[in-house]
Structure 1
Amino acid sequence: MSSHADHHEEHCPVARSVDVVGDRWALLIVRDAFDGIRRFGDFQRNLSVSKNILADRLRKLVDANILEMQAASDGTSYQEYVLTETGLGLFPLVVALRQWGEAHLFKRGEKHSVLIDTDTGKPVAYMAPISRDGSHLNPARTLVRKVK
């Protein structure tokens, strides 16, 4: 995923996160896992990625505790890749990337997949950072406190 040797030396949470999931294939594997894909062959067919790249990214995601391997849910001898609690925590990131892409990478009226809230049957509301008092935050209202 990253050539950065030891992300634990990095003080920036964004940099550490990118070291783990900042690769195209890693993020698409996580996206597919949220969509219910669990088996190596299904990831490969859906992503059209080479077996060696897929095997490498799956191993790194398992090593990072984002995915775990489990016996197949259908009782066969296959192994499945399942999101861990850590992996499930990536859901807001995947939604934010989706919503940014919808807003900036599609022409008006151009068709694309839509994330639906299964309780309401409607598209998921736009996600934005909010302050502790519930007001929307923009970059001008935030700062990063650097490690000294």
Structure 2
Amino acid sequence: MVKRTTFETADCPVARSVDAVGDWWSLLIVRDAFDGSRRFGEFQRSLGVAKNILSARLKALTDNGILELVPAGAHHEYVLTAKGEALFPVIVALRQWGEAFSFGPGEPHSQLVDRRDAKPLRPLEIHAADGRRLTPVDTEVRKLA
């Protein structure tokens, strides 16, 4: 089997983030955790993924501090940690990008809505410290010393 490249020591935050949650199964597990899945069987039914793959991804997410395995009666459940909950904007951004670019006109899909008023969320935007909306041309990457 080919060994996966690791970016755990890369100096780029994006590379390190991808190393922690960068495969589709892991991101879909995190998505399902936000949607309320907590048990192995719930993730397995939702995703239809092979048990060995799911086990490996859940272990990696737990080892990376994104999920925590907690006792729940005779079973254990996977719960998002604060580090895992901090992925919420990432999941929302991927969802909104998918809604905008992955479906044809009128094609049905799911939509994330505010529980309070059942309205769709506003598109995520990136803002400067002074509140200005930023686009890619307004930013640059600078290395920290």
TM-score range, shorter chain: over 0.9
Say which of 95, 98, 110 aligns to 1:113: 110
* 1:147 positional shift: 4.8
Sequence identity percentage: 55
2:132 matched to which residue of 1? 135
Structure 2: where are the runs of 5+ without partners? none
The number of equivalent residue pairs is: 143
> Where has structure 1 moved over 6 Å in runs of 4 or more?
none
* 1:34 positional shift: 0.2
Aligned ranges 1:3-82 → 2 under 5 Å: 3-5=4-6, 7=8, 9-72=9-72, 75=73, 77-82=74-79
* 1:57 positional shift: 0.3
> Greater CA deviation, 103-112 or 88-97?
103-112
Aligned ranges 1:88-107 → 2 under 5 Å: 88-107=85-104
* 1:6 positional shift: 5.6
Aligned with 1:117: secondary structure? coil
> What letter matches 2:69 in structure 1?
M
Tell me, in whole angstroms, the C-alpha distance in 1 between the residues paired with 2:95 and 2:125: 13
Contact 1:11-1:147 within 8 A present in 2 as well: no
Aligned with 1:45: secondary structure? helix
Q: TM-score, normalised by structure 2?
A: 0.94
> What letter matches 1:36 in structure 2?
G
Tell me, in whole angstroms, the C-alpha distance in 2 between the residues paired with 1:114 and 1:6: 33
RMSD after superposition? 1.3
Structure 1: where are the runs of 5+ without partners? none
Q: TM-score, normalised by structure 1?
A: 0.92
